[in-house]
Structure 1
Amino acid sequence: MNSQGRRRIDEIGDESRRRILDAAEGLFTERGFERTSFAEIAQRSGISRGSIPWHFKNKHGLFLAVIERAMDRVMTPEPRTASPTLTELAEEFAAWVRNGESALVFVALTEAMGSSGAVRGQYQEYFARHRRGLERWLQARRPATADPETAPERERAFAVAFIGALFGIHLQALIDQDDVDFDAAMRLIATQFEGNLRDVWDDPAQ
C-alpha cells in the first residue's frame, strides 16, 4: 500500500475514534458510566459496535480515554490576562462550567472513588494541577515579609480551600440548578478569598 493510501486509512481511524469519544462523552455525562452501553455509543456515533473494542479494548479503556481527553481540555486553558485576580480565575472556571462539559468531572469522581487504577490517577492529577497552578499564582504575589518556611504550606492550604469552594458550588448547581444562584455564589467566594489573601502570609500567632 502506498503512503497516500496508508494516510487515508489513518484518517478514517482517527475520525472513527473521535466520533466514538464524542458519543461516549455525551452519554457518560448524561447517563453515567454504568448505565451507558456500547450499543448506545455505536448508535450515537454511527460507528459499528464491534469497532469500539478495536479502538479502546473495553468499556473501562474507553472511559479512561474520554476522561483523559476531557481533562486535557480543562487543565491547559490560558487565562485571559497575564496576571489574573482571583475573581478573574473564578470567572474562567464559571465559563468552563457553563460550556456544558463540566458534569463529566463528577461522573469521573464516581468512578474514581471506587477504583485504585488509572481513572483515579487521572482524577488525582486533575486536582493536583489545579492546586499547583494556584500555588504558583500565590507565590508570585508572596510579600517579602512572609515567612519562607510557613508560606508554602499556607499557600497550599489556600489552594485546597479555594478549589474546594469552586467545585462545591459547581456540584450544588448541577444537582439543584433551580435553587442555586451559581453566578452570585461564584462572585461571593472570589470576593471573600480575595479579601483574605493577607491571611495566607500573616503569621496567625502574631
Structure 2
Amino acid sequence: MTTRREQISGESRELILTAAAELFATKGYRQTTFADVAERSGISRGSIPWHFGSKEGLLMAVLERSVDLVRTSLDDAPGPGVETGLDHMLKGLDTLFAQPTTKLFVTLLVEALEPDSPIHDRYVEIHDTLRGHCKRWLDRFAPTVALSTDALAVAIVGAGIGIHQQWLVAPDRVDIGQSLAALRALVAGIVPVTRT
C-alpha cells in the first residue's frame, strides 16, 4: 500500500519531469537550470537533486519517461471494429510525429551528437523505437516501390524529424500541419490501399 508520503513524492517527481521536459524542449538542456525547473514545477530547487541526483540524472529520467510515453502510444494496436488499412497506418504516422515529446527529441538531438554525450545511447533507442513502429506498419502492406520496409522506415522517420527541425528553427515559415500532411500523402503514394 502506498503511503501519503510516497504519493506526494511521486507527484513531485512527475511535476519536475513535466517541467524539465518542457524547458529542455524550449531552452535546451544546457540553458535550463534547476532554478528554472523549480519555478516551472512549483517544487523546491533542493528537491530536484534529491529525486534525480544531478542535472544529467534529471535529463536521463526525462528521456526515459518520454521514450516510455512514445512506446505506449505507438504500441496501441487497433482492436476489433476499429479502422484498419492505409488510413489507420497514416493516422499512426500522425501519432508518431504529433507527440509532445517530438519537440524535445529534436531540440536535444544536437547534444546527442556530441562526443561522449550522456544521451547518445538513449537517442539510438528513440530512433530504433520510431523506425520499428514505422516498419511494423509498413510490413502489413506491400509497398509499390522496390525498397525495403527498413529503408522506408528510415526515410519516414528522417522526414518527420526534419520537418520538426525546420519548424523549430523557423515556425513562421514552416506550416507543420501541411508539411506532415505532405509526408502522409507521399507515404500513401507508395502503399497500396488493400492489405496483403
TM superposition score category, shorter chain reference: 0.7 to 0.9
Identify the range of structure 1 (188-197 vs 82-91) with the bigger mean alpha-carbon deviation: 82-91
Backbone CA RMSD of aligned residues: 2.6
Aligned length: 184
Q: 1:133 to 1:93 in 2, by over 3 A?
A: closer
State TM-score, norm by structure 1.
0.77
What does residue 189 of structure 1 align with? 183
Query: 1:156 aligned to 2:159?
Result: no
What does residue 202 of structure 1 align with? none
Structure 2, unaligned runs of 5 or more: none
Rounded Cα–Cα distance in structure 2 between residues aligned with 1:132 and 1:171: 21
What does residue 39 of structure 1 align with? 35
Instruction: Give the drift of 1:58.
Output: 0.4
Rounded Cα–Cα distance in structure 1 between residues aligned with 2:123 and 2:93: 20
Aligned pairs for 1:155-174 (under 5 A) are: 155-174=149-168
What does residue 138 of structure 2 align with? 138
- 1:31-54 Cα shifts (integer Å, max 9, x gaps): 111111112222232322222111
Identify the range of structure 1 (26-35 vs 60-69) with the bigger mean alpha-carbon deviation: 26-35
Rounded Cα–Cα distance in structure 1 between residues aligned with 2:150 and 2:116: 24
CA contact (8 A) 2:26 2:107 kept: no
Secondary structure, in 3 states, of the residue corresponding to 2:148? helix
What does residue 51 of structure 1 align with? 47
Q: 1:155 to 1:19 in 2, by over 3 A?
A: same
What does residue 127 of structure 1 align with? 127
Query: 1:66 aligned to 2:67?
Result: no
% identical aligned pairs: 36
Rounded Cα–Cα distance in structure 2 between residues aligned with 1:184 and 1:79: 26
Instruction: Give the drift of 1:60.
Output: 0.3
Rounded Cα–Cα distance in structure 2 between residues aligned with 1:154 and 1:38: 45
Instruction: Give the drift of 1:182.
Output: 2.1
Instruction: Give the drift of 1:133.
Output: 1.8
Instruction: Give the drift of 1:26.
Output: 2.0
Instruction: Give the drift of 1:160.
Output: 0.4
What does residue 107 of structure 1 align with? 107
Secondary structure, in 3 states, of the residue corresponding to 1:36? coil
Rounded Cα–Cα distance in structure 2 between residues aligned with 1:75 and 1:116: 26
- 1:5-38 Cα shifts (integer Å, max 9, x gaps): x712211211221122122122222211111111
Q: 1:29 aligns with which of 22, 25, 31?
A: 25
What does residue 90 of structure 2 align with? 87
Q: Which letter does structure 2 place at the counterpart of 1:124?
A: V
Q: 1:14 aligns with which of 10, 18, 27?
A: 10
CA contact (8 A) 1:38 1:59 kept: yes
Q: Please tell me whether Structure 1 or Structure 2 has the larger radius of gyration of its CA atoms.
A: 1
Rounded Cα–Cα distance in structure 1 between residues aligned with 2:26 and 2:148: 38
Rounded Cα–Cα distance in structure 2 between residues aligned with 1:122 and 1:84: 32
Instruction: Give the drift of 1:158.
Output: 0.9
Structure 1, unaligned runs of 5 or more: 199-206
Q: 1:34 to 1:133 in 2, by over 3 A?
A: same
Q: 1:179 to 1:129 in 2, by over 3 A?
A: same
